[in-house]
Amino acid sequence: MRTAGGGPLSSIDLKVLGCHGGQLRGHRTTSFLLDGSLALDAGTLCQTLTLDEILKIDHIVLTHAHFDHIKDVPLMADLLTGRRDEPVVVHGSPECIRTLREHVFNDHLWPDFTTIPSASNPVMRLEPFDLGETLRLGEYTLHPIPVCHPVESVGYLVEKGKSMIALSGDTGPTDAIWTSLRNARGLKAVLLETSFPNALQRLAEQSGHLTPQTMSDELTGKFPKRNGVPVLLYHLKPAFTRQLYREVEAAAVKGVRILELDEEFSF
């Protein structure tokens, strides 16, 4: 178990900064902000937050290294140079962190802000975790759970006090996260990706994503007893948003709805 910081135990306050699987006017790539200090994925931080708000983020926890989920990590590093006494810590699976080191912070695509202004006091610190490791970041305990995607990817169970939320990360049909949720206590919400319309089922399978049909199959077949826990869908592909809204409505799975930009929750 890795520990960093501390704080009082209370509800989980979540703000939807971005909830789409691509970027287009009126759509923003995935990022959720917890209590103003912890970001889950970094698709849309710099576009939505003020500099003062960005300065309050101490930890970024990534589901995987695809561009739409890590896009604002390098941009945020540039903004923070000379403005923080402690580095922002970026957490991810071994493959995710290796991708950031080798292909982003490599002094070719982007300056190596893990050594700026110095290796001993950088703007950002990249911290890999072992799959199956529990992370304790201040008042949060995060349990990474491997999911099904073309690159190494995880979802998370996020605990704070007696509350828990689940984030699927990018995934096709999977099992481990549902097994964990069936035994979870204090679960308040499940944030579940759904990316492509049903007509593109083959593409969804090839790229490791869900459609409304497979979303429905996952919930009804693997997590049928939710006891009223809401399921909030995200990662809709912008080119198919209208069709996805229609198909999610037609699926008529109780307690399921699509997230909207800038929504705020207290779980």
Tell which CATH classification among 3.30.70.20, 3.40.640.10, 3.60.15.10, 3.40.710.10 matches the domain 13-266. Answer: 3.60.15.10
Rounded-to-integer distance, Cα 131 and Cα 211, Å: 26
Beta strands 38-40; 31-34: pairing state = antiparallel
Rounded-to-integer distance, Cα 58 and Cα 38, Å: 6
Give the helix, strand, coil percentages of the chain, each rounded to 5: 25, 30, 45
**Residue tagged 């983020």 (tokens):** 57
- Output the pTM of the full model: 0.95
pLDDT tens digits for the chain (267 residues)?
Answer: 444 444 445 799 999 999 999 999 999 999 999 999 999 999 999 999 999 999 999 999 999 999 999 999 999 999 999 999 999 999 999 999 999 999 999 999 999 999 999 999 999 999 999 998 999 999 999 999 999 999 999 999 999 999 999 999 999 999 999 999 998 989 999 999 999 999 999 999 999 999 999 999 999 999 999 989 999 999 999 999 999 999 999 999 999 999 999 999 999
Domain borders along the chain are 13-266
Rounded-to-integer distance, Cα 214 and Cα 139, Å: 34
For residue 10, count other CB atoms closer than 10 A to its CB: 13
Confidence (pLDDT) at 132: 86
